Amino acid sequence: MTKKLNVAMIGGGFMGKAHAMAYAAMPMFFWPAPAIPVRKVLVDVNKDLAADGAERYGFEDSGADWKAVIIRKDIDVIDIVTPNDSHAEIAIAALKAGKHVICEKPLARTGAEAKTMFEAAKRSGSIHMVAFNYRRTPGVALAKKFIEEGRIGAILNFRGTYLQDWSADPNGPLSWRFSKKIAGSGTVGDIGTHVVDFARYLVGEISSVNAIVRTHIGERPLQAGGLDKLGASDKSSNGPKGKVDVDDEMIALLKFQNGAVGSIEATRNAYGRNNFLTFETHGTKGSIAFNYERMDELKVMFADDPADARGFRTIYTGPAHPYGYGLWPISALGIGYGETKIIECYDFFSAIVSGKQPSPNFEDGWRVSAIADAILESGVTERWVSVAN
Ligand code: NAI
Ligand code: SOE
């Protein structure tokens, strides 16, 4: 019989839905499964929300007090899918209670806060993961494989973007994502960190950054209720406004420890862009390009291609590629956001069963947050800032 591991999920919003779906679907995709996730308890801010979420997402039990749930003896895994201000407190308590922990990104509001989580993780014997799921898109994992195999030589340049438009309308409500106290930062921490994760995963450690960081929309209508509706206007849009105290636009130049250079940009105000999470990287022997909005595709160009066939070509990921054995049997049948979370769940449960820390773990989460801090600091000083490590 396949081992079962009981999960308590703290939070039942957008990511609650994504993670719950992955727990249910992972063994259907990856079989034999490393272990079967059992959806044991869902916790939210009050009993009604928690009970409603548990019914909808298939959890056996529900509760409104995460402190009582994380010490339950029948719980193996704590899954943190709450806004950023509660990640550290819940994760550190869960690690102390001996649980394995998966925590949504950004790991914390600042590098210092993330470091306390990494320290707690090191002290524990637990497996820990930060949920930068986009690197688990098969095309991105294939890019990593090509780079490790030396197919594009030594990396010279990495150009990454994360552009969305859900916050471009100034009448979009002032959700927790626009509050420094809750989110830590704006675009930099929320979506810039996904591109930073790509940069570290594919190229290596970033040593210093030089950034421009701006806030173009300084106030928004106050929002009723806690859940982030991601720009969808509601009745509150005609009501009183509150101050946005986080960034909404970021461009940064990067220097990598291995000599490569790069640039990244992120905004949630770019009309026409939805989930435009991209990178293009060139090395001494070729180039690779990826666009999440066409997530089944990877564009490659190898310098030793015949002269009459030079240029980017498109690989449609499928069974021959990373994670392909668990996904669909024909290339380009089409994967989506859900599959990245299913793969993440598979890798996390494999790590628990094998006892080997996965990547990205809390150390990676802390390093990404330290880079976000450096970008924010450079945005103020408009100078090169070294990344703390
Ligand atoms: P959301 O606003 O949709 O949902 C948050 C949920 O947490 C709500 O149900 C809320 O009531 C609950 N909650 C808040 N404080 C709580 C507490 N102390 N105890 C229990 N429940 C609590 O937020 P969303 O979009 O699900 O974001 C959650 C986290 O996931 C954030 O850290 C965010 O950055 C991250 N995220 C990651 C994504 C990815 O692609 N990896 C995508 C979207 C969000
Ligand atoms: C909003 O910008 C958001 O939900 C982010 O919080 C996620 O991390 C991103 O993947 C999708 O967009």
Q: What is residue 231's predicted lDDT score, i.e. its pLDDT?
A: 82
pLDDT averaged over every residue in the chain: 96
Under 8 Å between Cβ of 298 and 290: yes
Q: Is the CB of 268 under 6 A from ligand 2?
A: yes
Cis status, amide bond into 358, omega within 30 of 0: no
Residue 374 pLDDT > 60: yes
Kindly state the tokens that stand for 191: 């979506």
Closest atom of ligand 2 to 190 CA is 6
* H or E segment to which residue 265 belongs: strand 261-267
pLDDT digits (tens, 9 = 90+) for 90-110: 999 999 999 999 999 999 999
Q: How far is the CA of 190 from the centre of ligand 2 (A)?
A: 6
9, 15, 229: residue to mutate for ligand 1 pocket, most atoms within 8 A of CB: 15
Q: What's this model's pTM, rounded to 2 decimal places?
A: 0.98
Ligand found nearest the CA of 269:
2
Q: What is residue 237's predicted lDDT score, i.e. its pLDDT?
A: 61
Residue 228 pLDDT > 90: no
Q: Where are the domains of the chain?
A: 4-134, 138-294+296-335
190, 228, 267: residue to mutate for ligand 2 pocket, most atoms within 8 A of CB: 190
Q: Is the CB of 164 under 6 A from ligand 2?
A: yes
Q: What is residue 233's predicted lDDT score, i.e. its pLDDT?
A: 65
Residue 131 pLDDT > 80: yes
CATH topology of domain 4-134: Rossmann fold (3.40.50)
Residue 375 pLDDT > 80: yes
| Alpha-carbon separation of residue 344 from 12, 239, 330, 386 (angstroms) | 18, 40, 21, 31
pLDDT digits (tens, 9 = 90+) for 305-323: 999 999 999 999 999 999 9
Instruction: Output 2-5 pairs: Cβ under 8 A, ≥24 positions apart.
Output: 2/27, 2/32, 2/33, 2/35, 2/36, 3/34, 3/35, 3/36, 3/353, 4/35, 4/36, 4/37, 4/38, 5/35, 5/36, 5/37, 5/38, 5/76, 5/77, 5/100, 5/349, 5/352
User: What confidence tier does 199 reach under pLDDT thresholds 50, 70, 90?
Assistant: very high
Per-residue pLDDT, averaged over 30-41, amounts to 98
* H or E segment to which residue 266 belongs: strand 261-267
9, 57, 104: residue to mutate for ligand 1 pocket, most atoms within 8 A of CB: 104
Q: Which CATH superfamily is domain 138-294+296-335 in?
A: Dihydrodipicolinate Reductase; domain 2 (3.30.360.10)
Residue 242 pLDDT > 80: yes
Q: What is residue 236's predicted lDDT score, i.e. its pLDDT?
A: 55
Q: Is the CB of 105 under 6 A from ligand 1?
A: yes
Q: What is residue 235's predicted lDDT score, i.e. its pLDDT?
A: 53
Ligand found nearest the CA of 193:
2
